Structure 1
Amino acid sequence: MKKHTLNKVVVALLASYSLVGIAPVNAQEEQVAPDTDNTEKIAVVGARGAPRSVGTSPVPVDVLSVEDIEGVAFSDLNDVLKTLVPSYDLSRQPISDGATFIRPATLRGMPTDKTLVLVNGKRRHRSALVQIGGSGTQGPDLATIPSAALGSVEVLRDGAAAQYGSDAIAGVINFQLKENTEGGTFSAEYGQFFEGDGDSITIGGNKGFALGEEGFLSVSLEYNDSESTSRGEQYCESWFCVDPSLEGFNPDAGYAQNVTPEFLAAAQEMGRRVHGADVVQPWGQPNSEAIRVFVNAGYDISSSMSWYAFTNYTSSEGDGSFFYRYPFNSVMQDIRLQDGSIWNPLEIYPGGFTPRFTGEIEDYSFATGLKGTTEGDLTYDLSARYGYNEIAYTLANTINPSLGDASGTEFNPGTLSNEEMQIQADFLYDISDYTLAFGLSYLDETYDIAEGQLESYIDGPYAKADPWGFCSENAPTTAGLAVIANGSTLDCANPDDAVYQVMAVGSNGFPGYSPEFSESYTRDSYAVYADISGDITDDLFAQAAIRFEDYSDFGSEVVYKLAGFYQATESTGIRASVGTGFRAPTPGQQGTTNVSTRLPNGTPVAVGLFPAAGPVAQALGADALDPETSTNFTFGVTSALGDLNITLDYYLILLEDRVNAVSTRNVSADPTAGAAYDNFLALQAAGVVGAESIGGVNYFQNAFDTKTSGIDFVVTYGMDSDYGDTMFTGSLNYNKTEFDSDPSAFLNAENQFDFENGTPTMRGVFSAKHSYGDIQGLVRVSYYGDYENVESSAADSDIQKFDPEFFVDIEGTYFFTDTLSLAVGVRNLFDNYPDPSELGGDSCCGRIYRSDSVVDWQGGYYYTKLVAKF
């Protein structure tokens, strides 16, 4: 894998908490001893004004400390959150275009574009990737944030659009950066899976500096290099089998007589050369490498004014594989060249080929502002931020079939980028026992699709039958007679002659972005909000918020929220909230275009995703996208009984006009194919190049309404004894999403079933951390409930039920000194895997486990980690 050097680092002085809880600039040096006390954690998000304890917050909030984050053996923050927050789910999709590198996640059953991500209380910019399936999620890439930079993470599990803005339908995740003026940390971690692959090394560090006597500069850096894994088996299906000795080999298949030892040797050599394994199509995590830098700074200009800023730069690269193109499939067909001879892509790839997909991600941002208090006790926070994320794709080990023998084998399909600029002003004013918060913001967004390399999208001569005019009315033309005279076997009267073969257009696996679908999508918006909160009585805290937002492409909307906390007894509190939300589809969701090759039943099919408001989708009956709206309800109980703390929260999210990709509309150039042929004619009329080679089309729509309900249960207990200190933590989430309108016009029966049943409704995380002298031990158990998947219909015979699964993590740490420790641990100690997939579509092509499952299928992993604090 290509090794990165950091050729650009955006370094600027930066820092800060937002007005959502202003903290002193001169933060204390972080604690170096193991943390096992039972101090109640303080939440910044959830209620404006003075921060509140988790137990008295009017809405449920998880606060993850540095120790919590360091106790998880992952470098990707997505995996850290998945491990620690049960209502946060994450899947790995090894063959899913850009989702191979930026994985889709959910909070409370909602996609990540329904969760607002903040850094130091400021909105984090989105990634350039729009997930091409499901909801078309376009959210921030959490993997760009190094864990070494974090002081804490707050996860607000409640709708908060009226407080923080669009996207906060499911909740808010706020990453608070370190503010140390001195000292720092250094860590080095190495790990490997039980299978002997997926070697990973992570080196990270943080160093704090004083800016004079009144400021701080905290610099964090992280480097990670993770190798790929393979959890599949050799490709052996009824339509083609790489190894005839395998059980799935079909000697009666049409290809069998052509599977010579030379073919098999060439296929296995391709696997070793491209993937480093005998299998021609691996299933697992991709290779990845990243370097991440975050800088956070602040300075007290005076006793009443502070300056802050923070910036980041991330450069990462990953590469994975697409489906194996076996010999004799529709891509590997005979064509007639200009001299009348026969040519087949097997001359380039004698054992077939597996396209190799690479994504290079560049991400940087800068935010700065002034905050302080006027003589009239008005607190202000004036800020500006800029964020940019770019993904540049490369496709190798493939061809553009329509170019025939003139095709190259490596292509640059294009570049996606997302750019945001925001100016914001926030104010706080105390009125007796109440805090009035108000503010306004302006946001400008641009999503850009940059044209790919010409050869990656061009329709070459073989995109149509008889490109050289050899035949006319089943008889040879003058040109045809000439090549016959030179020895060609051309037979115009034979409809199966290679002269009539039509080949797919574009770099196979991921055709490039053509000029017709390469453009920029821009919009701007502004918002005004007001929020009042305070203690109505000694026992009752209440909060009310209202927000007005106006989008240049979707008009305006007003949303609100009411929340409260009542201290019923000395140890028990009751909290509740109700609120509305509004989420405008992003410019990326409105404009993204993608044509990718999929292999249902082993047959390569090009499936195109087109903008809902564009001519292609409109020709197929699509409507332009509208905003999503939501109503959220929560009700909870909190209890503090000595060292035992308990919270129990019920939630209900009603989401209307939910954006989702429609089930693929079949396309066929066969006049007898009915609706599929009508779709083909519509594509032709819309000017789609290579419509003959497209087998399916989909697009995003406001497809249906949903109802998501669930329960969060969190309990913590701290225990001190002569044998050490122990902290027990248990978190349990039940979540169920159902349709609240008829989706049948947009989703087929299989997609409807999997939408409601395809993920576990129950998730739990239970841990115990014990410290005794210089030794600290951690045991964590993660639980996933059962779930179901269907093959093609809702018939019982097509449904597979997946059993519950437990994963056990253990870690032991020895502290040589107060500042030097060594940890050794195992993730998934018992090497557990989810049930193998028994359904044809989810188990084909060498796949053993359902590859998009939120239940991890990589197996056990062991690691060691050295940490030095100074």
Structure 2
Amino acid sequence: MPNSIKTLLLGSVLAASFSGYASAQDAETDDEAVQETVVITGARGQPRSIADSPVPIDVFSEETIKGVSYVDTNDVLKTLVPSYSLSRQPISDGGTFIRPASLRGMPTDKTLVLVNSKRRHRAALVSIGGSGTQGPDVATIPSTALKAVEVLRDGAAAQYGSDAIAGVINFILKDNAEGVTLTAQTGQYYEGDGTEYILAGNIGLPIGQDGFLSISGEYSDAEATSRSVPYCEAWACTDVNDPSFPGPIDTTIAGYDPDAYIAGLSAANIGFGDVVQPWGQPEASGFRLFYNAGYDLGFGELYSFGNYSTSEADGSFFYRFPGNGTIENLRLEDGSLWSPLFFFPGGFTPRFFGEVIDYSVVGGIKGETEGGFTWDLSGRYGHNEIQYTLKNTVNPSLGDMSPTSFHPGDLINEEIQLQADFTQSFDTGLASPLLFGFGLSYLDESYELVGGDAASYAAGPYAGQDPWGFCNAGAPTAAGLAVMAGGSSLDCSDPNDAVYTVVGVGSNGFPGYSPEFSGEYTRDSYAAYVDLSADITDALFLQGAMRFEDYSDFDSELVWKVAGRYEFTPGFAMRGSVGTGFRAPTPGQQGTTNVSTRLPNGFPVATGLFPASGPVAQALGAEPLDPEKSTNYTLGFTSNWDSFSLTVDAYQIDLEDRVNAISTQDVSTDPTSGAAYDNYLALVDAGVAGAESIGGVFYFTNAFDTTTKGVDIVGTYATSFYAGADTSFIASLNYNKTEFDGDVDALFNAEDQFDFENGTPKWRGAFTVTHAFGPFSVLGRANYYGKYENSDSGGAAGLIQEFDPVVMFDVEGSWQATDAVKLSVGARNIFDEYPDEADPAIGDSCCGRIYRSDSEVDWQGGFYYAKVTAEF
């Protein structure tokens, strides 16, 4: 065991001694009920209690889940699990619709998501930048369908396979055969926007005498928010009261008229008035349906569960101002001047719309023989699709023939899996029977980029200079003389004449998937595992697992894990584990491509992401992706004293060959720009249409090794201060720090290195108190975010902003008005706290932004709501 783990554990114990109380498990007034809560995640065969588990597991009951007022199940987890992080992603392409999360500092795709202990299929979105994470869309699982959530905070790839590096989240569905629950909720942010409506329900139905069908549905609708100021930068300012208005805007651009420009600003971005580039949560709506069914056949249970969900959201891209490279003068075929200002007098902000369609079905049969042999045969199918629409924009290369609405394409992820799991117990003379688990799996995966409409990727006539042949060697041709005779201002001798202007290709903001970058990527894999566990003595429990997987696109992998627990006294036990893990890059990570507007140097430029194994990235020096490999260590203790329980678990995750995007490489058509010009030539040689309009390129690679160290402090306390009243205290605290293990200068600039290691809070805590008395109950929760930093140029010039810690308080009061009806009112972030504003000198407050838009600390402000629940 590394010395760093031992040091961290000692610090954890000292911190715990001052914590008063801490835990993430549900607290109840009955202490025995707390200790005997059983979990099925991480175990084979007979479930174990939370306290008896050799690895840290949080269990959240249906009541605890109901106590969180968010719509998105992602937000529910963020509230309950401090090591689970989530950020809002405005102006982030598909990240606007499917938000990536992390557990223990690891991206979404390094946490395995299960539903009823079966693997959940991935979303179609591959995040642009960072790790390129592609994980399941947890938001498709409505919280109203959940009976419980189990969070295994430990590596478990040897038990469950690829992705389970940081941990496992298992969503347990309701299995009621009767009863109806209906919930209606509405709320609004203190700022007066973001009004939200939620309707949810569950019904349990019997299937004969021995079966059940539980159906849960949820509809939500949320308006957009804006935490923005008018766009006013050195290169363009839209604030008519600012002395620099209209700033350096080129007033010679065709169609530019000051009055029309001012009047057009309110229409530049649909629905946000004078804020041409809003920063906030998107407008979103969704319908989500889940079912869970089972039937006892006598010799076994036939089961099935599945879902259907559809959701829509829309967000903005960066504002396009006159002269920004998109709104430029072009020479039309008749020699006249034209610019997109004829379409959008105030410039424009592309609007991005996404519809996410998700459905799945799982079916199987399981049972147990009289000899203790258990079997479970199952199959599953999962489908996730994102259909994109882009409005309020143009394909600049098409000029005046461009549409202003596009379908840039779709993304589809599909999975089919067959699984067989077995256990058999043997009496070997140990304190408990030896449990032998084993299983087989086959998984088929596909990822498809569906091509967009032709106009969304077409290289129109203005993708090159002088498309109509007006000039030759600085002098007009016959065609040029003809349009000049007709009154054109054409001047072939002027290198700045619009006849030589080259503009971007494809729907601006998100070019469509062309046939060259469309297609389907597939693979399959086989796996086999074994798992042994037993109580060696009354005090010592040991567990070991090994798993072999073989992928059609990678070599085979063999991983293992050993875990144990030793009980010194009935109230105190030590536990720990060590194991290896892996994650095979998904077909989506290997095949995705994207050109979008990013800010690699603080200024918006078109930036291209290309597949590491494709010709474009290969020309830039990329190599095909390899699997990521990990070694996990945990060491901790559990303790119980009457109504108080405390667990402390230190961990270390060594991750090799971590997949990440390289720092954006500059691209320039200027032959004197060195490497930037070489990148441009590489794009041209690879056949990239519109290479002249791309200002940066990057790709995913096995970039570096990291070491993540942390500690989870978790505890509960339950008491009754007076007759008829019950009070519970639940608190949890997480410390997490990730550092590079080795030199990464060849792939990352100083700023990216600094922000990777320091850009998120290292401390995160959630502290909850619930008090029930008669028909009334009150919930209070404090969400703590520690300090973090952000830099410009890696802080080399002293440009580092330190963000202060933030505590946000939630309060909810409920009244059980009748046996069936419960009324609740509450507020999230009741004191309307915000993180520190982004320092303009650092560069992350560009373009109307007030706060770091990717901050894990929520920057929407206070939110109040009312809710009514009826149970029959």
Q: Which TM bucket (shorter chain)?
A: over 0.9
CA offsets, 1:120-160, max 9 Å, x none?
00000000000011000000000000111100000000000
Q: Match of 1:751?
A: 752
Conservation of the 8 A alpha-carbon contact between 1:238 and 1:250 = no
Which amino acid is 1:359 matched to?
G
Q: Match of 1:96?
A: 92
Q: Distance in 1 between matches of 2:819 and 2:52?
A: 34
Does 2:271 match 1:270? no
Q: Match of 2:73?
A: 77
Q: Match of 1:734?
A: 735
Q: Match of 2:456?
A: 456
Rate the CA distance shift 1:261–1:346 in 2: closer, same or farther, 3 A: closer
Alignment coverage as a number of residue pairs: 834
Q: Match of 2:489?
A: 489
CA offsets, 1:198-224, max 9 Å, x none?
000010000001111101000000000
Q: Distance in 2 between matches of 1:699 and 1:100?
A: 21
Q: Match of 1:851?
A: 853
Q: CA deviation at 1:601?
A: 6.7
Aligned residue among 41, 50, 56 for 1:45: 41
Conservation of the 8 A alpha-carbon contact between 2:571 and 2:640 = yes
Query: Identity rate of aligned residues, in percent?
Result: 63
Q: CA deviation at 1:604?
A: 4.1
Conservation of the 8 A alpha-carbon contact between 1:777 and 1:813 = yes
| Runs of 4+, deviation exceeding 3 Å | 34-38, 249-261, 599-604
Does 2:123 match 1:127? yes
Q: Distance in 1 between matches of 2:827 and 2:236?
A: 39
Written as runs of structure 1 = structure 2, the 5 A alignment for 1:375-414 is 375-414=370-409
Q: Match of 2:528?
A: 528
Q: Distance in 2 between matches of 1:336 and 1:604?
A: 25
Q: Match of 2:218?
A: 222
Q: Match of 2:869?
A: 867
Q: Match of 2:662?
A: 662
CA RMSD of aligned residues (A): 1.5
Rate the CA distance shift 1:796–1:813 in 2: closer, same or farther, 3 A: farther
Q: Distance in 2 between matches of 1:267 and 1:71?
A: 45
Q: Distance in 1 between matches of 2:594 and 2:248?
A: 33
DSSP-derived class of the 1:679 partner: helix
Q: CA deviation at 1:269?
A: 2.2
Q: CA deviation at 1:817?
A: 2.0
DSSP-derived class of the 1:555 partner: coil
Q: Distance in 2 between matches of 1:590 and 1:760?
A: 30
DSSP-derived class of the 1:755 partner: helix
Which amino acid is 1:597 matched to?
T
Q: Distance in 2 between matches of 1:798 and 1:269?
A: 35
Conservation of the 8 A alpha-carbon contact between 2:576 and 2:634 = yes
Q: Match of 1:141?
A: 137
DSSP-derived class of the 1:558 partner: strand
Aligned residue among 166, 170, 173 for 2:162: 166
Written as runs of structure 1 = structure 2, the 5 A alignment for 1:333-372 is 333-372=328-367
Q: Distance in 2 between matches of 1:250 and 1:400?
A: 27
Conservation of the 8 A alpha-carbon contact between 1:95 and 1:320 = yes
Q: Match of 1:685?
A: 685
Q: Distance in 1 between matches of 2:246 and 2:300?
A: 80
Conservation of the 8 A alpha-carbon contact between 1:400 and 1:508 = yes
Aligned residue among 199, 203, 210 for 2:199: 203
CA offsets, 1:324-356, max 9 Å, x none?
111222111101000111111111111000000
Q: Distance in 2 between matches of 1:261 and 1:829?
A: 44
Q: Distance in 1 between matches of 2:192 and 2:481?
A: 60
Q: CA deviation at 1:275?
A: 2.5
Q: Distance in 2 between matches of 1:529 and 1:109?
A: 27
Q: Distance in 1 between matches of 2:785 and 2:257?
A: 45
Which amino acid is 1:409 matched to?
T
Aligned residue among 113, 123, 136 for 2:109: 113
Which amino acid is 1:123 matched to?
R
CA offsets, 1:806-854, max 9 Å, x none?
0000000000123210010000010000000004421011000000000
Deviates more, 1:596-605 or 1:859-868: 596-605
Q: Distance in 1 between matches of 2:52 and 2:820?
A: 34
Q: Distance in 2 between matches of 1:616 and 1:572?
A: 58
DSSP-derived class of the 1:125 partner: coil
CA offsets, 1:302-339, max 9 Å, x none?
1x311000010001100000011112221111010001
Q: Match of 1:184?
A: 180
Q: CA deviation at 1:243?
A: 1.5
Which amino acid is 1:233 matched to?
V
CA offsets, 1:73-106, max 9 Å, x none?
1010100000010000001110000001111110
Q: Match of 1:55?
A: 51
Q: CA deviation at 1:256?
A: 8.0
DSSP-derived class of the 2:546 partner: strand
Does 2:648 match 1:652? no
Which amino acid is 2:766 matched to?
V
Conservation of the 8 A alpha-carbon contact between 2:234 and 2:247 = no
Conservation of the 8 A alpha-carbon contact between 2:657 and 2:704 = yes
Conservation of the 8 A alpha-carbon contact between 1:403 and 1:461 = yes
Q: CA deviation at 1:786?
A: 0.2
Written as runs of structure 1 = structure 2, the 5 A alignment for 1:247-646 is 249=244, 253=248, 255=250, 262-271=259-268, 274-302=270-298, 304-432=299-427, 433-599=433-599, 603-646=603-646
DSSP-derived class of the 1:99 partner: helix
Q: CA deviation at 1:261?
A: 5.0
Does 2:755 match 1:760? no
DSSP-derived class of the 2:365 partner: strand
Which amino acid is 1:47 matched to?
A
Q: Distance in 2 between matches of 1:118 and 1:646?
A: 27
Structure 1 residues not aligned, in runs of 5+ = 1-33
TM-score scaled to structure 2, two decimals?
0.94
Structure 2 residues not aligned, in runs of 5+ = 1-26, 428-432
Q: CA deviation at 1:264?
A: 4.8
Q: Distance in 2 between matches of 1:518 and 1:185?
A: 45
Q: CA deviation at 1:268?
A: 3.1
Conservation of the 8 A alpha-carbon contact between 2:29 and 2:720 = no
CA offsets, 1:18-71, max 9 Å, x none?
xxxxxxxxxxxxxxxx97654213221122221112112100001011111111
Conservation of the 8 A alpha-carbon contact between 2:238 and 2:245 = no
Which amino acid is 1:383 matched to?
S
Conservation of the 8 A alpha-carbon contact between 1:455 and 1:507 = yes
Q: CA deviation at 1:252?
A: 6.7
Conservation of the 8 A alpha-carbon contact between 1:825 and 1:864 = yes
Q: Distance in 2 between matches of 1:832 and 1:295?
A: 39
Deviates more, 1:323-332 or 1:191-200: 323-332
DSSP-derived class of the 1:568 partner: strand
Q: CA deviation at 1:602?
A: 7.3
Q: Distance in 2 between matches of 1:263 and 1:156?
A: 59
Q: Distance in 1 between matches of 2:546 and 2:249?
A: 67
Deviates more, 1:596-605 or 1:74-83: 596-605
Deviates more, 1:276-285 or 1:709-718: 276-285
Q: CA deviation at 1:671?
A: 1.1
Which amino acid is 1:452 matched to?
G
Q: Match of 2:835?
A: 834
Conservation of the 8 A alpha-carbon contact between 1:163 and 1:531 = yes
Conservation of the 8 A alpha-carbon contact between 1:767 and 1:779 = yes
Q: Distance in 2 between matches of 1:332 and 1:392?
A: 27
Q: Distance in 1 between matches of 2:729 and 2:28?
A: 13
Q: CA deviation at 1:257?
A: 9.8
Conservation of the 8 A alpha-carbon contact between 2:28 and 2:718 = no
TM-score scaled to structure 1, two decimals?
0.94
Q: Distance in 1 between matches of 2:375 and 2:840?
A: 58
Q: Distance in 1 between matches of 2:747 and 2:640?
A: 48
Conservation of the 8 A alpha-carbon contact between 1:367 and 1:386 = yes
Conservation of the 8 A alpha-carbon contact between 1:362 and 1:389 = yes
